[in-house]
Copies of this chain bind each other. A is one copy, B any other.
Amino acid sequence: MINYALLIEYDGTRYNGWQKQGNTPNTIQERFENILFKLCGKKVEIFASGRTDKGVHAKGQVANFKCEIDMHPEEIKDYFNKYLPEDIRIINAKIEDERFHSRLNAKSKTYEYNIATVKPSVFNRKYVYHTEDSVNVEKMKRAAAKLLGTHDFIGFSSVKKTKKSTIRTINSIDILEESGIITIRINGNGFLYNMVRIITGTLFEIGTGKKEAGVIDEVFKLKERSLSGETLPACGLTLESVYY
């Protein structure tokens, strides 16, 4: 068995996210597994570094699958790119150690969230969240520092009560503003369901003055989802890189 790892980008606009779930049609995973069936002559599962939700984009998703077929990674890449729709593309393919697993071995991931404070152009409208509110980026930057480090992030997620750990570490949050686009770039060792969109939503509401920065301490203390900010729309979110 050869373990192939793929570096993948996609425009998530028209998909129901990465992960096949019950009968939900039109997932990105399904697109890959249809091609894998053709390639390997049998059902083969592909594992991504993490699901991305409906409408979320990726510039550096990583996924792996095991297959008996012995092909050069370049051929694997070309094969997929031949059959994938135009909004999904393999950037690179390589052979990994047999034990490599794209999700279990991921050390950290970087996501980017884009908020447009001017009307987005027709060229980037699908990749940003547009607001008419005025946003104080300096306030967002100061508040972001409170999120760094290891915390229980359950209050910044859509996770209901769970036995699994909801403790995660955020390594960095960089916020920059250019030409009316505020970019929030977050690196962490893992993210709970909706965590990036709720963290950016909380920072956004701090930026607009709807919330005070102190709310972050409260959410950590009380673990209460109702205190944190709104879940920003999926379209503004892009999975940038996965680090191993």
- Nearest B residue to A120 via CB reads B89
Copies in the complex: 2
Q: Contacts of A86 on B, CB cut-off 8 Å?
A: 122, 125
A112 contacts chain B at the CB level, 8 A cutoff? no
A121 contacts chain B at the CB level, 8 A cutoff? yes
Residue A9 contacts which of B10, B59, B87, B122 (CB distance < 8 angstroms)?
A: B122
The answer to whether A123 and B119 touch across the interface, beta carbons within 8 angstroms, is no
CB distance from A179 to the nearest CB of B (A): 13
5 A-B pairs with CB atoms under 8 Å apart are A9-B122, A10-B122, A57-B123, A86-B125, A89-B121
Q: Contacts of A87 on B, CB cut-off 8 Å?
A: 122
The answer to whether A127 and B123 touch across the interface, beta carbons within 8 angstroms, is yes
Q: Contacts of A53 on B, CB cut-off 8 Å?
A: none
14 additional contacts (CB under 8 A) given A9-B122, A9-B123, A86-B125: A9-B121, A10-B122, A11-B122, A11-B123, A57-B123, A59-B121, A59-B123, A86-B122, A87-B122, A88-B122, A89-B119, A89-B121, A89-B122, A123-B127
